[in-house]
């Protein structure tokens, strides 16, 4: 039996796992990225070429690097003015083969990462609440390997490592009552109109949303492989489509399967939201999350055969109108994609499996407008942002109660979903001290429905990699990590941990805004950094900052801006003849450069971070300090104070 030692072990070569491995390696850690299949990249390299995110402005760090490299690939390969560059949409749309190349480049750029493929988890060795090692088996040779590490990250879609380590988890759906989620549990909703139909009683159950495969197809005859009839073809799986077509509910091939264009005449082919019988296979994945490799392969094969049969049916069945059959015959598998697996993607789309019991449960309410605020709920431990509709695919096939308008459990509430903060606690298990789970996170079914997108998983993985390396340095459980120090590291790496509509990443106060945006300094998505900072803002923010790590010694703002230097006689003076300070500040609401400078000098002395030159207000426009400038100074003070505290604790 082989034995390997490493600092951080990441199990699962999904985008979340790749993000985790890169982050840990960049902090100088030896990383073993262990993947049970023969390739890395998860769904992003297995057909999901239309990225599930509403705006690139709500993402950053390693996912931003991926987008940049995809875009650069198409520019280098085809030229900046090419149709391929236009079709890639700033890197958001890509061919599976390009995604594979980019993922390999990202991993190869970090010499500390060792990628180990076809290594399936067999067992976990525990020491109390601490993972000491895992045993894997090579899926082809049967050879076993022992991996020992200080920190572990489960980045599988299924949460296999967490489950093997004894972490409690949940399958299925919560009821409306359990977490006060308006649309939880049993629901019939017409996807297009969002009309909720009778029968939507909201009970919880153990049902899973449907899986499928994301096909890469083309209508280019020169690159087209014909669809074929699968061995397990069953026409009865698809005959309901004939009635839909006859009734006028469906009129084209593109209304039955969703054809999203990606570069070079190809598609990311997905289930169609408005079709009752598309590429999803509801109700046939229940055994998958907890199943053995053999069980999962059987379920994946059933889904594959079902989709192959659907495409064959639409091309060849005589009861399908010739117009639709002719449209379907224009399509085939892309000949230059997935060559090793018969041009069919190797990874089944596991939209949802286990969800761990973590230190925070993310719900539908965390992604919606917070009552009384102008944004989603604020999380002091936010480590990433999300921006996709609260979404779920169907849990059951067509039923009479759905009125040919709805499949139970199929929903998408984009209008209700805000850009949201993702808290660290959802990937921290309750029971294991050196494990993080950035993919099978702690969430309700409804909350998971928006987080379960690859861009967010990749950023959560990146945060997990940083956190694991920091925990290794501190030799402490992940739950004892200083969240603020973790956020400092993530902000430095250009990870978004909150979102503002009116501030770009290039703004000098962007880092400060990211940090304070998670500390309830703002009630909406606008920061107004260019506006003058008021003395009320400054006083309030200083008070709030005292509750943050490094801020306990921050002095109050001077009660007056009429302080004269020591040695200057201020008498005679009658206070009763002077304007009351409430009136004085009401007439002079803006924070002046002089008042801010006096406060800054005292703050530097109080925190022991040097004289006033250690942190500078810079050039102040006119007599006022902007909101952005003051927040930047306040953040720099906190970071310096935390840095000094760390030095004292480590004896450096």
CATH number for the domain formed by residue range(s) 2-172+353-492 = 3.50.50.60
Using a 10 angstrom Cβ sphere, with 0-12 exposed, 13-18 middle and 19 or more buried, the burial of residue 538 is buried
Selection from 283, 304, 288 nearest residue 209 by Cα:
283
pLDDT in tens, 28-38: 999 999 999 99
118 Ramachandran zone, left/alpha/beta (phi>0; psi -120 to 50): left
Domain limits of the chain?
A: 2-172+353-492, 215-341, 515-567+577-650
pLDDT at 577 (0 to 100) = 87
| 147 contact partners, CB below 8 Å, separation of at least 6 | 3, 4, 5, 6, 9, 32, 34, 133, 134, 135, 136
**CA dihedral for 490, 494, 500, 505, sign (positive or negative):** positive
pLDDT at 611 (0 to 100) = 55
Selection from 101, 95, 52 nearest residue 343 by Cα:
95
pLDDT at 576 (0 to 100) = 86
CA pair distance 215, 270, nearest whole angstrom: 7
CA pair distance 62, 64, nearest whole angstrom: 5
Q: What is the CA radius of gyration of the chain?
A: 28
Residues 634-637: contacts with CB under 8 Å, at least 24 apart: 634/512, 634/516, 634/541, 634/542, 634/545, 635/511, 635/512, 635/515, 635/516, 636/512, 637/550, 637/551, 637/554, 637/603, 637/604, 637/607, 637/609
**Residue range 182-197: mean pLDDT, rounded:** 97
CA pair distance 40, 389, nearest whole angstrom: 27
- The mean pLDDT value of the chain amounts to 96
279 Ramachandran zone, left/alpha/beta (phi>0; psi -120 to 50): alpha
**Residue range 340-351: mean pLDDT, rounded:** 98
**Residue range 389-407: mean pLDDT, rounded:** 97
SS3 of residue 371 by DSSP: coil
**Residue range 225-245: mean pLDDT, rounded:** 98
CA pair distance 253, 92, nearest whole angstrom: 25
| Residue keyed to tokens 């980045």 | 155
**Residue range 347-360: mean pLDDT, rounded:** 99
pLDDT at 652 (0 to 100) = 65
Using a 10 angstrom Cβ sphere, with 0-12 exposed, 13-18 middle and 19 or more buried, the burial of residue 45 is buried
pLDDT at 450 (0 to 100) = 98
Using a 10 angstrom Cβ sphere, with 0-12 exposed, 13-18 middle and 19 or more buried, the burial of residue 547 is exposed
Q: Are 439 and 458 in contact (CB under 8 A)?
A: no
> What DSSP element (H or E) covers 260?
strand 257-262
Selection from 627, 617, 620 nearest residue 589 by Cα:
627
CA pair distance 85, 354, nearest whole angstrom: 38
Angle, nearest 10°, between helix axes 15-26 and 96-108?
20
Selection from 180, 309, 297, 172 nearest residue 236 by Cα:
309
pLDDT in tens, 469-497: 999 999 999 999 999 999 999 999 999 99
Selection from 388, 407, 446, 450 nearest residue 185 by Cα:
446
User: How much of the chain is helix, strand and coil, in % rounded to 5?
Assistant: 35, 15, 45
Q: Which percentage of the chain shows pLDDT scores above 90?
A: 92
Q: pTM, whole model, 2 decimals? A: 0.96
pLDDT at 457 over 80: yes
pLDDT in tens, 571-626: 999 988 889 999 999 999 999 999 999 999 999 999 988 754 567 777 654 578 99
Using a 10 angstrom Cβ sphere, with 0-12 exposed, 13-18 middle and 19 or more buried, the burial of residue 546 is middle
**Residue range 387-398: mean pLDDT, rounded:** 97
Q: Are 335 and 420 in contact (CB under 8 A)?
A: no
pLDDT in tens, 23-69: 999 999 999 999 999 999 999 999 999 998 888 888 888 999 999 99
CA pair distance 166, 144, nearest whole angstrom: 22
How do 31-34 and 2-11 pair as beta strands? parallel
pLDDT at 307 (0 to 100) = 99
pLDDT at 612 (0 to 100) = 45
CA pair distance 70, 90, nearest whole angstrom: 8
**CA dihedral for 75, 79, 80, 83, sign (positive or negative):** negative
pLDDT in tens, 122-142: 999 999 999 999 999 999 999
pLDDT at 622 (0 to 100) = 54
pLDDT at 646 (0 to 100) = 82
Question: Exposed e or buried b for every residue in 254-293, given b needs 16+ CB within 10 A?
Answer: ebbbbbeebbbbbbbbbbbbebbbbbbbbbbbeebbbbee
DSSP-derived secondary structure letter, 274 = T
CA pair distance 589, 610, nearest whole angstrom: 29
Q: Is the peptide bond before 224 cis (omega within 30 degrees of 0)?
A: no
Length of the chain: 652
DSSP-derived secondary structure letter, 40 = S
CA pair distance 117, 354, nearest whole angstrom: 23
Selection from 509, 545, 539 nearest residue 631 by Cα:
509
DSSP-derived secondary structure letter, 650 = H
pLDDT at 619 (0 to 100) = 63
> Residue 387's pLDDT band (boundaries 50, 70, 90)?
very high
Cα dihedral value 73, 79, 83, 87, nearest 10: 30
pLDDT at 509 over 80: yes
pLDDT at 382 over 60: yes
């Amino acid at each position: 039996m082989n034995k390997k030692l490493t600092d951080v072990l990441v199990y699962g070569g999904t985008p979340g796992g790749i993000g985790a491995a890169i982050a840990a390696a960049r902090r100088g850690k030896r990383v073993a990225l262990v993947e049970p299949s023969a390739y890395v990249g998860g769904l992003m390299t297995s057909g999901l070429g239309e990225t599930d995110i509403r705006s690139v402005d709500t993402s950053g760090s390693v996912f931003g690097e991926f987008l940049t490299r995809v875009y650069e690939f198409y520019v280098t390969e085809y030229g900046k003015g090419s149709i391929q560059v236009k079709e890639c949409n700033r890197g958001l749309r890509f061919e599976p083969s390009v995604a594979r190349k980019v993922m390999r480049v990202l991993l190869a750029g970090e010499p500390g990462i060792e990628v180990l493929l076809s290594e399936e988890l067999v067992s976990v060795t525990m020491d109390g609440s601490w993972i000491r090692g895992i045993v894997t088996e090579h899926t082809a040779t049967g050879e076993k390997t022992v991996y020992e590490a200080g920190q572990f990250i489960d980045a599988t879609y299924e949460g296999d490592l967490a489950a093997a380590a004894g972490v409690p988890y949940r399958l299925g759906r919560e009821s409306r009552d359990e977490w006060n989620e308006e649309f939880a549990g049993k629901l019939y909703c017409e996807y297009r109109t969002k009309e909720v139909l009778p029968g939507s009683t909201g009970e919880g159950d153990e049902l899973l949303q449907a899986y499928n495969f994301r096909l890469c197809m083309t209508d280019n005859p020169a690159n087209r492989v014909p669809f074929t009839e699968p061995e397990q073809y069953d026409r009865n799986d698809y005959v309901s489509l004939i009635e839909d077509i006859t009734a006028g509910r469906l009129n084209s091939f593109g209304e039955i399967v969703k054809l999203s264009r990606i570069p070079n005449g190809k598609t990311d082919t997905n289930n169609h939201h408005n079709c009752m019988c598309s590429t999803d296979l509801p109700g046939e994945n229940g055994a998958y999350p907890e199943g053995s490799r053999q069980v999962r392969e059987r379920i994946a094969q059933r889904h594959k055969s079902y989709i192959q049969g659907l495409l064959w049916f639409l091309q060849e069945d005589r009861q399908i109108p010739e117009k639709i059959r002719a449209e379907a015959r224009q399509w085939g598998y892309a000949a230059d994609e997935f060559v090793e697996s018969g041009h069919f993607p190797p990874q089944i789309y596991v939209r949802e499996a286990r969800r761990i019991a973590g230190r925070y449960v993310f719900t539908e309410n965390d992604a919606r407008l917070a009552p009384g605020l102008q944004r989603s709920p604020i999380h002091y431990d936010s480590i990433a942002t999300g921006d996709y509709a609260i979404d779920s695919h169907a849990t059951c096939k067509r039923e009479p109660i759905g009125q040919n308008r709805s499949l139970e459990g199929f929903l998408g509430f984009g209008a209700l979903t805000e850009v949201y903060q993702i808290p660290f606690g959802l990937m921290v298990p309750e029971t294991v001290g050196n494990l993080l789970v950035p993919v099978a996170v702690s969430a309700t079914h409804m909350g998971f429905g928006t987080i379960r997108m690859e861009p967010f998983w990749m950023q959560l993985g990146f945060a997990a990699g940083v956190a694991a390396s920091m925990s290794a340095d501190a030799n402490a459980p992940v739950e004892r990590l200083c969240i603020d120090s973790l956020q400092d590291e993530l902000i430095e790496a250009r990870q978004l941990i909150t979102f503002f509509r009116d501030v770009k990443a290039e703004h000098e106060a962007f880092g400060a805004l990211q940090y304070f945006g998670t500390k309830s300094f703002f009630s909406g998505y606008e920061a107004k950094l260019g506006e003058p900072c008021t003395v009320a803002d400054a006083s309030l923010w200083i008070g709030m900052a005292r509750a943050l790590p490094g801020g306990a010694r921050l002095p109050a703002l001077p009660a007056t801006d009429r302080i004269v230097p020591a040695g200057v006689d201020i008498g005679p003076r009658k206070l009763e003849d002077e304007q009351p300070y409430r009136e004085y500040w009401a007439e002079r609401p803006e924070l002046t450069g002089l008042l801010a400078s006096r406060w800054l000098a005292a703050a530097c002395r109080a925190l022991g971070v040097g004289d006033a030159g250690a942190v500078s207000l810079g050039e102040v426009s006119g007599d006022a300090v902007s909101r952005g400038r003051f927040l930047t100074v306040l953040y720099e003070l906190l970071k310096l104070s935390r840095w000094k505290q760390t030095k004292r604790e480590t004896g450096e």
